[in-house]
Structure 1
Amino acid sequence: MKKMLIHRSLSLLIPAMFFVQLTTKAQNDGLSLKSKDNLNKIELSFAKDGSLSYEVTRRDKKILLNSPLGLTFTNNDFTSGLSVVKVSPVEEKVEKYELKVANNKIANHVFKSKSITFKNGQGALMTIDLIAGEEGVAFRYRFAEKENQTRVLKNESTGFHIDQNAKGWLQPYNKAGDYTPGYEDFYINVKPGDPINGARGESVGWCMPALFNVNDAKSWVLIAESATDGSFPGCHLQPDSKGGIYNIAFAKKDEKFTLPLPDKEAYPESNLPWTMPWRVIMIGDKAGDILLSTMITDLAPASKIEDTSWIVSGKAAWSWWSHPEDFTPEMYNKFTDVSASFGFRYTLFDAGWEKANKEGKIIDYALAKGVQPLVWGYSAEYFDADKRKKRFKELADMGVKGVKIDFWCSDRQEVMGTLQSVFEDAAKQHLLVNLHGTTVPRGWHRTWPNFVTAEAILGTESYFYEPRFPEMAAEQNTVLPFTRNVAGPSDYTPFALTFRKYTRLNTGTHELAMAMIYTSGIIHFADSEEVFNSLPNELKNLLKEMPATWDKTECIIAEPGKAVVLSRKKDNLSYIVGINGTNKVNPVSIDLKKYGKGYSKFRIISEGKDPLMDFKVETHPITSKWQYNLAPKGGFIIEFIK
């Protein structure tokens, strides 16, 4: 009898166990998505407690290891006890659009997409949208139902699990202070799990975008976010990356600077429906694939400006870098004359311009010269909606073409929302926008094409403020094209020849090449009238012809921290430009016939007798096996000649 009871119990238990296994398997079915080319894949999975994680692979090789997902609200938890409610069919979508500021004018990518809806133990629903394309994968959290009650998000568990054999280039996220956070620190070469060392100030995390060389150095990955709007703060990564897991962190309560922000916790909050930003994982076989990726703008909303014909990229002279204490009308007019003589479309009037305009009508002077004025402004003056709209109209009526708005120093949700309103209200007055002392772009230059450039970069002003900058600048300049400039247009303010407080070590040609390495809708050239006028005629002509955006870019050499060489084309202009990030001679070999089709000769600008100040210009016939030694911290520019 006892044996019969045992047998019967086992016969009941075995099917029950089988049912549990089937259920677990069923929960994990359909939770993956592959790109159309079948190379990139994101796959979600459940743990025993109903918590979610994901992995990312390329060619079935691990790019991101098992990484956590989940959200914790004040009254709702989506970190465990989850189950699948619905899996949508896979859809294919094409993102084809034109960018006003870009490495490549036309973006055209095919994505596979899928949405998976989960239910937590309280019966509340959460959807995760998945995207997979040839340049990487992405996901976001979304709450589709309507709910009038405000939800407060206390924590996002999302992490990015990097293999500990990988190497990365990460920028510290500086603690709130007088001018921080502003994304103006060095990118540091780290291994996953390393603590923050060498930052310019006290730091509370790591910035995005974050670059890693993974898969035994065979693949590159850039972690970023896209489509952040007024319903979410800008995010960074937690400082503690034990085990190689970098978790999402929100903006901090004290990121207020002088903005009129309430003294409260800075948790994300919104009514439902609520669509959160994309978590973007760009993947490439080469670092150059990352440099050229448009995935951040692919995932951003399409342009909200119907007629963009008035948005024109260009170059600008700018007096502050060479004359930081001179705010006289005569000085502003002198730099307007520089713009006029070099055919620059714009001139930038920095802080102090309003008094000079009252005294000397510097705006009228610029307009009479055929130069369009851009003017500086303080962020707090643009925070109130009514004051902002009134100010934009006043500036437009004066003949101003664009605004440089400075000192945001915050990633809080209120600031993200204000920036969207700044772009929108400026567009209504046909004004261009340049942000300084600010967060990194997050696909906004697609949605608002009048947003043409932003700082959020350790640029040439650091020769005034950072003693380590001269030694580290060349290396940094070969990292930023794969990190900061992938996020969006970068106002580096290049071409700084005059020695400032901390003496430059990069060659003059390296500094000149910087104007063509970074992408910025307006190139604000540093330095003085005297320096511009002292240049050889070939360099003057280069500055006159140099575009501020490109039709086509190819990566020839892409070695973050070591060297960058790009092929750049715009209309009938064609260049190759390169910089050396090291203090050693760097030999390069390039097939010029490949990049110079239709041209008979090339002109090369390189270092002269004094590499720091002098230039050498030579003309040669095009060859298929061109060899060149990049000078230590040096550069070159090749112009193809018909």
Structure 2
Amino acid sequence: MRFLIAVFLLVSLHTTISAQVGITSPDKKITVQVSVNKEGAIKYSVHHLETEVLRTSSLGIQTATVDFSKGNNLLGATPVQQVNDSYSLLHGKKKQSIYKANKRIVQFRNSNGKSLDIIFQVSNDAVAFRYQYKEGNNFTDNITNELTSFHFPLTAKAWLQPMQVSKTGWEQTNPAYEEHYVQDVAVGTKSPSAAGWIYPALFRSNDVWALITEASLEAGDCATRLKAESPDGEYCIGYPDPREIITGKGLLPTFQSTYTSPWRIITVGSLATIIESTAGTDLAKSSTIKNTAFVVPGKSSWSWINSKDNFIVYDEQKKYVDFASAMKWQYCLIDVNWDTKIGYDKMKELADYAKTKNVSLLLWYNSAGDWNTVKYTPKNLLLTAESRAKEFQRLKEMGIKGVKIDFFAGDGQSVIAYYLDILKDAAKYELLVNFHGATLPRGWSRTYPQLMTTEAVRGFEMVTFEQPDADKQATHCAMLPFTRNAFDPMDFTPMNLYKIQSKVQRKTTAAFELATSVLFLSGIQHYAESPEGMQHVPENIQQFLRTLPNTWDEVKFIDGFPGKYVVIARRSANKWYIAGINGDATAKTIQLDLSSFKKKAAKLITEAEGEKLFAEKQVNARKTQTITMPAAGGFVVVLE
């Protein structure tokens, strides 16, 4: 009898252990527990030390032929494996990144005998997981639903951007990831858009922050978002609107034989963790592009931001080439309708002239087939591999260095494949790429380093259109380092130092605008200043912009709060640049300890009194400085 009881207890203990699998970060601060409930649904939870970051949340997928939503058994998990990776980026948050994580593959079988693996990698700053489902050779299927959810405690708060509804907006160009953020709202708050919320999505549970995104999208994948409704604080992954496709092509993920999903990523920790983490590129696919000599980060002049469509003419663009040259900037971007207002032959002439000024040209393209009604040209030249090859070869022969491609159709599988086809072909012809009216790039700049930047933000152009956007600019900009620009290059087109050439009144100070040149990350930074405006900027600030680094080696979070204010330090070689902006309507005073940077000299640039734009002074690099930023104000410190 005692023997039978002992066997029963042993079997019960084994069942209890095998019904739950744990994965911890190398520093043991983050813990993930994976289990199945009594209905056989796959569940997980996340803790950071004693703080519950995610309550019991859901996992699983459904295909057209297989269902892993319930009736699953947890078979077990592989032993913990250490993942060690180091990689360099040609542009981004920092040049060299080191990724270390603990990996376990948790294995499930459904009631029909089909197996599903969920691969977890937990680093000191992030939880990442992806699904892997294998079938026999020559088996084709598509994913119809993903059950992944993120179930936050009801005390948590959220900072989120609504997803734009397909076919809405100007010329039916949405979605384009271009809304203002809803800030500091209770979890469970319904999105004002039926399309849900975009990534990166920021949450706070007690004093622990979580930033949700995804990475490593392949041509068979669609991009996802969070659904509009989150009852009880549970946010579920949603798929794109059926209209977000290349006409006649696919919406949902497709696969042959094996399905491996993109990584679902939750960066976990403090605000410093969010700002300093490279999780979004850590989980991205490594680049296979061997020749990257043509990938040159830099800065660009750009006429359209101030003078719009009517000035895309030869003489105006030549003036902006001269402007870029005078500022020691590498590029000049020429926007819509250049093919009709300037023409290919004159553009070749302008490219030759720019080359004598050490400036390279970037040209605008309309991506569209029939998914929007935009009339801007060149249009429809990039839709097929054959037409792309012809156009890209022509541009290379003209001496053009890159393309800005605008107005994409959304996040469906066929659109994602279109993005990747463009990137692969651009690499063949050594062309740099800038996507506009586009999706979040989700780590693609690691996989395709010629992807210099992507819009996917309510950028400075909106400030030039409407006063309400100018009124919200400061708080909006103070959101972006914590969300949109956390991992991926962002073409906000920042830094209008003098004034907007329109009826709109810019509300930010010149020092605020200057600070964005350091705060915002973009492989090519397209500046929102004109030659005429720069004439009002003092020579010392112009020189600052001539010598401002194009890439960064290191990043440090100094202070801030999403939407309120942010102060970040970036290092290039032996210099540190510290930039801060105030997103609030009232002044903000901070204490900035410069001694930790161990530099001898420090220069502080702030707002000036009266009609001057800037004040500059030397400060003690070994002491704490008290800096007051006025409403919508900012500063820059240079240490060397």
TM-score range, shorter chain: over 0.9
1:502 partner letter: V
Superposed CA offset, 1:353-372 (max 9, x none): 22314346222221222211
Contact 2:285 2:447 in 1 (8 A): yes
**Is 2:287 aligned against 1:298?**
no
1:191 partner letter: A
**Is 2:385 aligned against 1:385?**
yes
Give distance in 1, aligned partners of 2:22 and 2:503.
Answer: 55
Superposed CA offset, 1:349-394 (max 9, x none): 1112223143462222212222111111111332312211222121
**Is 2:384 aligned against 1:362?**
no
**Is 2:256 aligned against 1:271?**
yes
CA deviation after TM superposition for structure 1 residue 19, in Å: 8.6
Say which of 207, 212, 226 aligns to 1:223. 212
Give distance in 1, aligned partners of 2:215 and 2:119.
Answer: 13
**Is 2:625 aligned against 1:626?**
yes
Say which of 191, 200, 204 aligns to 1:209. 200
Q: Which residue of 2 aligns with 1:123?
A: 113
Q: Which residue of 1 aligns with 2:298?
A: 314
Contact 2:23 2:31 in 1 (8 A): yes
1:233 partner letter: C
2:191 partner letter: I
Give distance in 2, aligned partners of 1:146 and 1:544.
Answer: 58
TM-score, structure 2 as length reference:
0.92
CA deviation after TM superposition for structure 1 residue 633, in Å: 0.7
**Is 2:342 aligned against 1:352?**
no
Superposed CA offset, 1:597-640 (max 9, x none): 2323x2222112358x7222223333412111111110011123
- Structure 1 residues 165 and 74: CA distance shift in structure 2, 3 A: same
Contact 2:362 2:401 in 1 (8 A): yes
2:187 partner letter: P
Q: Which residue of 1 aligns with 2:179?
A: 185
- Farther off after superposition, 241-250 or 426-435: 426-435
Contact 1:109 1:134 in 2 (8 A): no
Contact 2:409 2:415 in 1 (8 A): no
Superposed CA offset, 1:108-146 (max 9, x none): 121111112211111111110010101111111012343
Superposed CA offset, 1:5-57 (max 9, x none): xxx9xx99x9998698456414324x221111111121111101111110011
Say which of 86, 89, 99 aligns to 2:89. 99
CA deviation after TM superposition for structure 1 residue 330, in Å: 0.3
Give distance in 1, aligned partners of 2:338 and 2:354.
Answer: 13
Superposed CA offset, 1:382-422 (max 9, x none): 23122112221211111111111111141011111221221
Counterparts of 1:307-346 in structure 2, within 5 Å, are 307-324=291-308, 325-346=310-331
Aligned partner of residue 163 in structure 2, secondary structure: strand
Give distance in 1, aligned partners of 2:136 and 2:468.
Answer: 52
- Farther off after superposition, 329-338 or 478-487: 478-487
CA deviation after TM superposition for structure 1 residue 173, in Å: 0.5
Superposed CA offset, 1:232-257 (max 9, x none): 1000000010100000001111124x
Detail structure 1 runs of 4+ shifted over 3 Å in the superposition: 14-24, 144-147, 357-360, 464-467
Q: Which residue of 2 aligns with 1:541?
A: 543
Q: Which residue of 2 aligns with 1:592?
A: 594
Q: Which residue of 1 aligns with 2:190?
A: 195
Give distance in 2, aligned partners of 1:481 and 1:151.
Answer: 39
Aligned partner of residue 307 in structure 2, secondary structure: coil
Contact 1:288 1:558 in 2 (8 A): no
Give distance in 2, aligned partners of 1:66 and 1:84.
Answer: 16
1:222 partner letter: L
**Is 2:9 aligned against 1:25?**
no
Superposed CA offset, 1:225-282 (max 9, x none): 01111121000000010100000001111124xxx42177x22222221110111010
Q: Which residue of 1 aligns with 2:53?
A: 63
Q: Which residue of 2 aligns with 1:238?
A: 227
- Structure 1 residues 403 and 610: CA distance shift in structure 2, 3 A: farther
CA deviation after TM superposition for structure 1 residue 590, in Å: 1.0
Aligned partner of residue 76 in structure 1, secondary structure: coil
- Farther off after superposition, 149-158 or 296-305: 149-158
Q: Which residue of 2 aligns with 1:4?
A: none
Give distance in 1, aligned partners of 2:546 and 2:194.
Answer: 41
Say which of 553, 561, 565 aligns to 1:563. 565
CA deviation after TM superposition for structure 1 residue 591, in Å: 1.4
- Farther off after superposition, 351-360 or 107-116: 351-360
Aligned partner of residue 421 in structure 2, secondary structure: helix
Give distance in 1, aligned partners of 2:137 and 2:111.
Answer: 19
1:193 partner letter: G
Paired-residue identity, %: 33
CA deviation after TM superposition for structure 1 residue 104, in Å: 1.9
Superposed CA offset, 1:200-241 (max 9, x none): xx5410111100111x2x111001101111121000000010
Aligned residues: 616
Give distance in 1, aligned partners of 2:39 and 2:639.
Answer: 63
Give distance in 1, aligned partners of 2:599 and 2:604.
Answer: 17
Contact 1:342 1:540 in 2 (8 A): yes
Q: Which residue of 2 aligns with 1:396?
A: 396
Give distance in 2, aligned partners of 1:555 and 1:467.
Answer: 31
Say which of 230, 252, 259 aligns to 2:241. 252
Q: Which residue of 1 aligns with 2:454?
A: 454
Q: Which residue of 1 aligns with 2:582?
A: 580
Contact 2:93 2:278 in 1 (8 A): no
1:196 partner letter: S
TM-score, structure 1 as length reference:
0.92
Superposed CA offset, 1:405-440 (max 9, x none): 111141011111221221211111111111111000
Superposed CA offset, 1:168-196 (max 9, x none): 10000110021211110011112111122
Give distance in 1, aligned partners of 2:247 and 2:288.
Answer: 27
Give distance in 2, aligned partners of 1:581 and 1:610.
Answer: 22
- Structure 1 residues 20 and 91: CA distance shift in structure 2, 3 A: closer
Give distance in 2, aligned partners of 1:348 and 1:168.
Answer: 37
Contact 1:491 1:520 in 2 (8 A): yes
Give distance in 2, aligned partners of 1:171 and 1:575.
Answer: 29
Give distance in 2, aligned partners of 1:50 and 1:302.
Answer: 36
Give distance in 2, aligned partners of 1:33 and 1:620.
Answer: 48
Say which of 132, 138, 155 aligns to 2:122. 132
Contact 2:82 2:100 in 1 (8 A): yes
Q: Which residue of 2 aligns with 1:374?
A: 362
Superposed CA offset, 1:463-499 (max 9, x none): 2344421222111111110110113000110112423
Give distance in 2, aligned partners of 1:205 and 1:219.
Answer: 24
**Is 2:76 aligned against 1:81?**
no
Contact 1:478 1:580 in 2 (8 A): yes
Contact 1:558 1:564 in 2 (8 A): yes
- Structure 1's unaligned 5+ residue stretches are 1-7
- Structure 1 residues 36 and 412: CA distance shift in structure 2, 3 A: same
2:476 partner letter: Q
Give distance in 1, aligned partners of 2:36 and 2:9.
Answer: 18
Say which of 527, 531, 534 aligns to 1:532. 534
1:424 partner letter: K
Q: Which residue of 1 aligns with 2:372?
A: none
CA deviation after TM superposition for structure 1 residue 100, in Å: 1.2
Contact 1:231 1:276 in 2 (8 A): no
Give distance in 2, aligned partners of 1:389 and 1:93.
Answer: 39
- Structure 1 residues 167 and 466: CA distance shift in structure 2, 3 A: farther
Give distance in 2, aligned partners of 1:123 and 1:467.
Answer: 60
Give distance in 2, aligned partners of 1:501 and 1:70.
Answer: 52
2:450 partner letter: N
**Is 2:166 aligned against 1:176?**
yes
Q: Which residue of 1 aligns with 2:100?
A: 110
Q: Which residue of 1 aligns with 2:374?
A: none
Counterparts of 1:517-528 in structure 2, within 5 Å, are 517-528=519-530
- Structure 2's unaligned 5+ residue stretches are 369-380
- Farther off after superposition, 304-313 or 246-255: 304-313
Q: Which residue of 1 aligns with 2:39?
A: 49
